[in-house]
Amino acid sequence: MSTHDEIRATLTSEGCAEEQFDEMNCPTCGGPLTLSVHPDMRQFFVRCASDTTHVAMHGENAAAPEWWKAHLSGGWY
């Protein structure tokens, strides 16, 4: 399973690969992670797909990769 530090390090790294993200999983249950990207393409929110008490964190990536566009979401208010 992935650690919180690994998840943060991967998502804040320049050129974070989609394959790297897909290989990571929830530190608590081992399930898939859900990524939401702010319309500014810098801020992100990642959480366990089944339970936010497992993992849920915000971060920022100044060099977000192209594949993040597929994860753009509203609701950032």
Enumerate binding residues for Zn ion (CB under 5 A). 26, 28-29, 31, 48, 54
Report how far residue 40's alpha carbon sits from residue 55's, in angstroms, rounded to the nearest whole number.
23
Q: Which amino acid is at 68?
A: W
List residues bridging with 48 in a β-sheet: 33
Radius of gyration of the chain measured on its C-alpha atoms? 11
Closer CB to Zn ion, 41 or 49, in the complex: 49
Closer CB to Zn ion, 28 or 43, in the complex: 28
Closer CB to Zn ion, 11 or 64, in the complex: 11
